[in-house]
Structure 1
């Protein structure tokens, strides 16, 4: 039982770190290219990174039983999603 839980935890950490590294590479690519119109995409990708990080941290806090931190992370995720929706609406309209 303990080995299965450790394997699941290790897989979760690998998934979490891989996702965050990929998002950071996308951020760097768009923010530091020569086309200044891509800066908006780069900053939006950075907000996606922080939103995913908050989501992963909220799940980890739930597993550990740290409810105050979990609620703060969920509020952070909601704020990040709100900013992304707002930015998306500006691009569409």
Structure 2
């Protein structure tokens, strides 16, 4: 019975992840390859945001699988990228 709950949670997480990942990835591609070169910065911000969300998602999956070291690594990497995202975002929107 407990395995069914975990499987149900994992299925929901897969669906929600796909719903979040696909538009972000498509937006990133759109900003990278449009004619306005100024949108490349926004594309990079979307890429960093994608990476942060992906690391948090992977940390949740590793936590369910009881991989504590991997959870810590994913959260540390997400924190580092989040700091970089905030710095780049401030630079992009201040100019």
* More moved, 8-17 vs 53-62: 8-17
Q: CA separation in 2, counterparts of 1:9 and 1:57?
A: 11
How large is the Cα RMSD of the aligned pairs? 1.4
TM-score by length of 1: 0.90
Q: Give 1:4 deviation, angstroms.
A: 3.5
| Equivalent position of 2:25 in the other structure | 24
TM-score by length of 2: 0.88
How do 1:1-93 residues align onto structure 2 when only pairs under 5 Å count? Answer: 1=1, 2-90=3-91, 91-92=93-94
Q: CA separation in 1, counterparts of 2:70 and 2:9?
A: 22
* More moved, 1-10 vs 42-51: 1-10
Structure 1: tracts of 5 or more residues without a match:
none
Q: CA separation in 2, counterparts of 1:80 and 1:28?
A: 20
